[in-house]
């Protein structure tokens, strides 16, 4: 198709044959007339080729020189008015619709002027000018339409490529966050249970079985995270948090509004945020108690994880950063306060959460 389109562009040069009518049929033709035809052809063809190869240079390297060449030649050979048709094509190729129309009007005015000022006798003068006047508008408008469609198609391709790129980045970030949340929580649980095995050999068999169960569950969750099928449950994460912290000797209190029904997409993000917050308690807090609350208040769904551990003002890691990104996507906020322990408050608008 591209070869056919390229060939058709070259075939359009055949219209330069309009330059030949005057010297062929005028009995008074001499070598000067033939030389004028040759000069016009030699001067115009490179501009035509450049217009097809470098559309960004059409206005000053092709359009304006073609108009000048046509203005100098048409008074002596009205067939040269075909150059104004080519100029209209160049305008449609390189200019916006509004600017191209202004060029068409200006070219029409030039042809009308040469209808009055020309050395070519009537009616041959009109026979040379009228076809170019008509085709100037017909072909010029077609070129404008084609150029606009081409530009729109190019813009659509660019927008599509950008959307695909952003979608790829978003998917990579999702997988990275999910893997961080999964591996951070699971590896912490495995490490803690391995420490219990070392501290209490009598529990070795029980803890080893629990480590195996946790590892197998983690493998399944990682597969689901990569394929995008995983959907975390807040109830499951609350039970897991209670079990994990209790095994460390942390007293866990869970308070949840029983009448609160959360949509699955929001529940998934809240469950992962809870997992990250509990993992941080298990890793860093050295707490004795931990309070977890899920309730509706002031138009918000709030998930609060508060411990009485060591607190501290250490910089936030990837886990809290990922949590903020997840909740921000829901229109919510994550607040972390540190005093006698650490409190993480996750707030999501109720209209999003329920």
Per-residue pLDDT, 1: 43
Domain termination site, one of 230, 254, 282: 230
Same domain assignment for residues 186 and 77: yes
276: tokens are 């990250």
Reported pTM = 0.47
Strands (E), 158-209: none
Q: Check if the beta carbon of residue 259 is closer than 8 Å to that of residue 204.
A: no
Same domain assignment for residues 222 and 299: no
Q: Check if the beta carbon of residue 69 is closer than 8 Å to that of residue 82.
A: no
> What is the total count of domains within the chain?
2
Same domain assignment for residues 289 and 271: yes
Pairwise pLDDT comparison (178 vs 77), residue with the higher score? 77
Task: Say if 354 falls within a structural domain.
Answer: no
Per this entry, what is the length of the chain? 354
Q: Which of 101, 93, 96, 4 is nearest to 53 (CA)?
A: 93
Per-residue pLDDT, 307: 92
Same domain assignment for residues 239 and 151: no
Same domain assignment for residues 181 and 46: yes
Q: What is the pLDDT of residues 26-39, one digit of tens each?
A: 777 778 878 888 88
Domain termination site, one of 211, 230, 249: 230
Domain that holds residue 253: 234-349
89: tokens are 């094509």
Same domain assignment for residues 334 and 281: yes
Instruction: State the Cα–Cα distance between residues 148 and 91, nearest whole angstrom.
Output: 12
Same domain assignment for residues 241 and 221: no
Same domain assignment for residues 146 and 290: no
Q: What is the pLDDT of residues 264-303, one digit of tens each?
A: 878 888 888 888 888 888 888 888 999 999 999 888 899 9
Domain termination site, one of 230, 249, 277: 230
- Three-state DSSP class for 122? coil
Pairwise pLDDT comparison (252 vs 209), residue with the higher score? 252
Asked if residue 258 has pLDDT above 70, the reply is yes
């Amino acid at each position: 198709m591209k070869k056919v389109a390229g060939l058709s562009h070259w075939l359009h040069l055949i219209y330069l044959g309009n330059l030949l009518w005057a010297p062929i049929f005028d009995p008074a033709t001499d070598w000067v007339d033939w030389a004028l035809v040759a000069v016009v052809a030699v001067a115009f063809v490179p501009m035509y080729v450049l217009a097809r190869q470098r559309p960004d240079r059409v206005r000053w390297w092709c359009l304006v020189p073609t108009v000048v060449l046509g203005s100098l030649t048409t008074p002596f050979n009205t067939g040269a008015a075909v150059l104004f048709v080519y100029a209209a094509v160049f305008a449609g190729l390189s200019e916006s619709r509004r600017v191209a129309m202004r060029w068409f009007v200006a070219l029409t005015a030039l042809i009308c002027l040469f209808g009055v000022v020309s050395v070519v006798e009537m009616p041959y003068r009109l026979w040379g000018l009228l076809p170019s006047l008509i085709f100037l508008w017909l072909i010029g408008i077609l070129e404008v339409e084609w150029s606009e469609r081409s530009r729109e198609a190019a813009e659509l391709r660019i927008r599509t490529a950008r959307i695909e790129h952003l979608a790829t980045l978003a998917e990579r970030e999702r997988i990275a966050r999910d893997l961080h949340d999964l591996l951070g929580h699971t590896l912490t649980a495995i490490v803690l249970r391995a420490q219990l095995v070392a501290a209490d050999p009598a529990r070795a068999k029980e803890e080893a079985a629990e480590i195996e169960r946790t590892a197998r569950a983690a493998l399944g969750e990682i597969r689901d995270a990569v394929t995008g099928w995983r959907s975390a449950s807040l109830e499951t994460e609350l039970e897991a948090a209670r079990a994990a912290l209790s095994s460390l000797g942390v007293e866990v209190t869970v308070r949840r509004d029983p009448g609160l029904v959360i949509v699955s997409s929001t529940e998934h993000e809240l469950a992962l945020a809870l997992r990250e917050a509990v993992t941080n308690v298990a890793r860093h807090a050295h707490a004795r108690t931990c309070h977890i609350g899920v309730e509706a208040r002031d138009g918000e769904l709030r998930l609060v994880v508060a411990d009485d551990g060591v607190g501290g003002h250490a910089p936030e890691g990837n886990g809290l950063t990922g949590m903020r990104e997840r909740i921000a996507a829901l229109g919510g906020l994550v607040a972390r306060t540190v005093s006698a322990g650490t409190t993480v408050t996750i707030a999501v608008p109720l209209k999003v959460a329920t």
